[in-house]
Amino acid sequence: MDAEAVTRLRRVIGRLARLFNASSSSEDLTPTQASVLGLVAHRGPISLAELTELEGLNPTMVSRVVSKLDGDGLVRRLPHPADQRAVQLVATDEGRQTHQRILAARTRTVATILDELPPEVSAALAEALPALEALAEGLRSNRR
């Protein structure tokens, strides 16, 4: 892929990310808070260390985000069964519901846009899904 195409792809990814991030603001969460909540809801119970690694954030930032989510009643800290000095995080019922609302809003956003596109563009996007998934996995792996 040439440099111009890479730049276009990067810009599109950025615009898509901003669209998705807007859906978390309707729940009074920052994009980072929504992302952490999503990981806890999907993977919990999860340790702070694992969450830090998956999010690619520094431990202090993760601690602040978790404190906010805990204070809002969206996650709960539990003692880690193997390490009494550590905690694990689980989503509360309210946290799981909030996460589901964010996912639903993101799905509606994409569905609305897809409905407005010509069928051949939607088909091309569907065909590109494996490549986009590989790109996302590559970006995730590169962060480590």
pLDDT digits (tens, 9 = 90+) for 50-95: 999 888 888 999 999 999 999 999 999 998 787 778 889 999 999 9
pLDDT tens-digit readout, 10-22: 898 888 888 777 7
pLDDT of residue 21: 76
pLDDT band at 125 (very low <50, low <70, confident <90, very high): very high
Which bin fits 44, alpha (ψ -120 to 50), beta or left (φ > 0)? Answer: beta
Q: Which residues contact 119 (CB under 8 A, 6 or more apart)?
A: none
Q: Where are the domains of the chain?
A: 3-142
CATH pick for 3-142 out of 1.10.10.10, 3.60.21.10, 3.20.20.70, 3.50.50.60: 1.10.10.10
Whether residue 116 has pLDDT greater than 70: yes
pTM: 0.80
pLDDT band at 23 (very low <50, low <70, confident <90, very high): low
